[in-house]
Structure 1
Amino acid sequence: MEPILKVSNYLVDNAETIINEILDVALKNVTIKITPEELERAIQKNIQFLKLLSESLQESTDSAEEVLKEWSKQNGEEEAKVFDQFSSVMKPYAINRLLFLQKISKIAMDHGLSTEDVVYVNNRFCYLMDLSMIETIQSYESYRDKLMKDHQKEINELSAPIVPIQDGVAVLPLIGAIDYTRVQHLLNYVVPTIPSLKVDHLIIDFSGILAIDTEIAQHIFTIHNVLGLLGIHVLFSGIRPNLSMTVVKAGIDFTSFNTYGSVKQAIDSLKL
């Protein structure tokens, strides 16, 4: 084990030089444009990674795994902030991994390691590199998914505002395509806020709706019933012919609703 520890210390002490030598060759396989700032960031990341791998030769497998997992999780989140597509980062991975292992093998042999010890070092590095890559990808995807959900929440909030137009009267303009996520946002976040606005009449305007299916139509009209139970008079406006057909297919009885061609007509009907 002593020769392996010497290699471990050598790799840690010379990590920067080794990484620069590897990157000089590896950059020839990169097809995307890399800025000087991105290159420097990549160099520092790889130096950290090499040191962690090298230090793992002095630790148990379990201990090395935990350290690499935590580092890879942070790395995945940082990559998600910089790159929209992780595939652009992964594309040269296979050839760069080969270059890396060839360099490590040469260093190990130069230090007089036996064939068995060289294989041990390579196997340890290969295992931890694969483990790190899996953790990085999972962290990247988790961060991007959270980002998408946050963006969708912002879009939902912007696309379904409650707009007061006069005392006791407000308009809820529905804009864009209405899907299950947006309906749930309406039910869970928009509807509960309406009573606090002291609204007696709410006009739900459909004129900005691009598309709606029968299931979603049923949910929308459920909102009407919920608001009715809260003592709020609900009016519908801007329901175009194609939306009317969807409502009919959903088996919803129009006769119990107050519907108008426009928001103005709905307001005029109130005669406040």
Structure 2
Amino acid sequence: MKPFERFINYTTDHTDELAATIVDRVCEQLPEEVPQEEQHQALIMYKELWKSLGESLKDDQFKIPEALMKWSRSNAAMMTEIGGKISVIVDRYPPTRVIFSEVLVEVSERLGLSLKEFARVNQQVNTMLDISLNETYYAFERLSELYRSDTEQELAELSAPIVPVRDGIVIIPFIGEITDDRSYAIMNNVLPRIAEMEVECTITDFSGLVSVDDQVVRSLHQLEDALSLMGIEVITTGLRPELAQKIVSSGMDFAGTKYYATVKQALESLL
């Protein structure tokens, strides 16, 4: 049997041993300790990788093991869930390549592979690792974007909750920071809910804002216009001096809005 055939048989017959060698050596090289569950998942993936490598070399057709792609995506998901950085995963690939090359050299020398055959095998392994790295990076980007969208949606709802106080009257306390995205989400979430509640008057309270800028003024104006078009009276409370100055200097028409220092004063005027 030729050395290359022996190499193919060896990689498919000793997947457990080869996978364990890779995982153990990579873990020794990393500065941080890898959790047991991650090591277990890596073992499963590397077993499939060695098996797929042998089959690809035998059939002379490059194959990407699904376990490798699943493992790459799961790494990205894990980092997204804990709010980690993609660099934590990316930093593991260079030592992994080195360990793979070392193991390939050891097996190739033992089985008598030629330099050309070794280069072919090593190139295929590096291609697999490149694809895994790309899949991890792109999955992290996709999941991060979804996470940001979900978080922004939750923050928008928390930034402007609707608090009913009696029939036809609700308070909308603006909390935190109003960004462009959050302002858009508020308009698309708060207004439909108010329409369903048969509201006659809203008290928009700005005392809980963290910062005040032109975006807050635009949001206030847009909300007032939308509520007025719906036939709802708007009362504004909690305007700090800097926000009042911005409203005056903005040149926007806020003539339809009543202003009170506190929600308590607004409620007293209504009740």
Q: Quick check: TM above 0.5?
A: yes
Relative distance call for 1:102 and 1:41 in structure 2 (3 A) is same
Deviation at 1:260, TM superposition (A): 0.9
Relative distance call for 1:54 and 1:152 in structure 2 (3 A) is farther
Cα distance per residue 1:238-268 (max 9 Å; x no partner): 1111111222333223433211111111122
In the aligned structure 2, how far is the partner of 1:57 from the partner of 1:83?
A: 39
Question: What is the TM-score normalised by the length of structure 2?
Answer: 0.87
Given residue 70 of structure 2, which amino acid in structure 1 is its aligned partner?
A: W
Secondary structure at the aligned position of 1:57 is classed as helix
Residue 11, structure 1, aligned to residue 44, structure 2: no
In the aligned structure 2, how far is the partner of 1:87 from the partner of 1:78?
A: 14
Deviation at 1:151, TM superposition (A): 1.9
Secondary structure at the aligned position of 1:103 is classed as helix
Identity %: 28
Q: Indicate conservation of the 8 Å contact 1:202/1:233, yes or no.
A: yes
Deviation at 1:65, TM superposition (A): 4.7
In the aligned structure 1, how far is the partner of 2:15 from the partner of 2:82?
A: 25
In the aligned structure 1, how far is the partner of 2:86 from the partner of 2:215?
A: 36
Relative distance call for 1:169 and 1:36 in structure 2 (3 A) is same
Superposition pairs of residues 1-272 of structure 1, within 5 angstroms:
4=4, 6-58=6-58, 64-65=63-64, 67=66, 70-71=69-70, 74-80=73-79, 81=81, 84-271=84-271
Secondary structure at the aligned position of 1:204 is classed as strand
Cα distance per residue 1:150-200 (max 9 Å; x no partner): 122112212321111001100011000111111011111111221110110
Q: Indicate conservation of the 8 Å contact 1:69/1:135, yes or no.
A: no
Between stretches 14-23 and 69-78, larger displacement belongs to: 69-78
* Structure 2: gaps of 5 or more residues: none
In the aligned structure 2, how far is the partner of 1:179 from the partner of 1:83?
A: 22
Q: Indicate conservation of the 8 Å contact 1:73/1:136, yes or no.
A: yes
Between stretches 258-267 and 244-253, larger displacement belongs to: 244-253
In the aligned structure 2, how far is the partner of 1:233 from the partner of 1:6?
A: 84
Question: What is the TM-score normalised by the length of structure 1?
Answer: 0.87
In the aligned structure 2, how far is the partner of 1:153 from the partner of 1:50?
A: 43
Q: What's the C-alpha RMSD, in Å, of the aligned pairs?
A: 2.6
